Amino acid sequence: MARFLANGLPDKRDGRPALPSTFPTYNTLMVFGDRIWVKHFRRPGEPEHQWLAFDADGTQVATMFLPSRFVAQQIGSDWVLVLIADELGVERLVVYALVEDP
């Protein structure tokens, strides 16, 4: 007999819930200056976050990739402020420069 979790997803044999068959496309929006930054939803196991920047006309003007352990807090015209937690859970804020690919 199949067992189901409270969210309606069936249990797998190892007791972990099954992953959903679909995921949202985006899960975070940030507006800084004249750009809208949109973060793609990171599926389980993906190693990094992908962010896209759009100008006021809706034209994509930049792409940024951050490691999965980085959480963007603010994004400026040429910098990003990220929250990083180490192996012990100690959090720190770090500012990184945004550079263009050659």
Query: Could you tell me the residue range of the domain that residue 70 belongs to?
Result: 26-97
Asked if 76 and 53 touch (Cβ cutoff 8 Å), the reply is no
Confidence of residue 2 (pLDDT cuts 50, 70, 90): very low
Q: Is residue 7 part of a domain?
A: no
* Amino acid present at 58: G
pLDDT tens figures, 38-87: 998 887 777 888 999 999 999 999 999 999 889 999 998 889 999 999 88
* pLDDT at residue 11, as a whole number: 52
Is it the case that residue 1 has pLDDT exceeding 50?
Answer: no
Is it the case that residue 22 has pLDDT exceeding 70?
Answer: yes
Assessment of whether the complete model's pTM goes beyond 0.85: no
Q: Is residue 61 part of a domain?
A: yes
3-state secondary structure of 21: coil
Q: Is residue 6 part of a domain?
A: no
Sequence-distant (≥ 6) Cβ neighbours of residue 93 within 8 angstroms: 73, 81, 82, 83, 84
